[in-house]
Amino acid sequence: MKRAAIAFTGPSNSGKTTLIVKIAQKLIPEQRVAIVKHDPKDKAQFDTEGKDSYKFTQTGAHTIVVSPTRTTYFAPESKSIDGIIRMVEDFDYLLVEGLKTLPLPRIAIFRGKIDESYFPCSEAIAIDESVDISAYDIPERISVLNLNDTDEILAWIRSHAKKV
């Protein structure tokens, strides 16, 4: 088991989720993949009011729902990335969306324009043809990847992901 992690960042609607899904789909046939998504505004909803699992989570207890095809875990507190890694444990690649403060190699995704404020926390940027790269002074340490070339991005991930 490799146990490597990589993070993705970028403005809203830049394509982070779409890219992560594409990467996961390419990895999953041969690798175990775990995905962590940051919900900075605490607005994601995971259960339906009135259902048993909703009633259980409303107690404040850690709630695990087990079905024939999946296990869902609800915790009444935020977990650190180390806590999540210990909890998930069995993975080859951990793909993290958001959480800019984590010390992980990070790909920033942009469409239309690049937000240079992401440069300090990024080791690579993934852009498409809608970005005029000549309009920006990209630091040499940042790799420039084709957002539409999943194989190129996957190769970068395989060589840069952090062992965890």
pLDDT in tens, 88-113: 878 899 999 887 778 899 999 999 99
Q: Is it the case that residue 125 has pLDDT exceeding 70?
A: yes
pLDDT in tens, 41-72: 666 666 678 777 778 787 777 777 777 887 77
Q: List the alpha helices (DSSP H) in 62-149.
A: 81-88
This prediction's pTM: 0.85
Domain ranges of the chain: 4-42+78-163
Cβ-contact 68, 83 below 8 angstroms: no
Identity of the residue numbered 2: K
Q: Is it the case that residue 122 has pLDDT exceeding 80?
A: yes
Write down the pLDDT at residue 90: 83
Residue reference for tokens 């498409």: 128
Identity of the residue numbered 49: E
**Separation of alpha carbons 66 and 89, rounded Å:** 18
Q: Which CATH class is domain 4-42+78-163?
A: alpha beta
Mean pLDDT of 68-96: 82
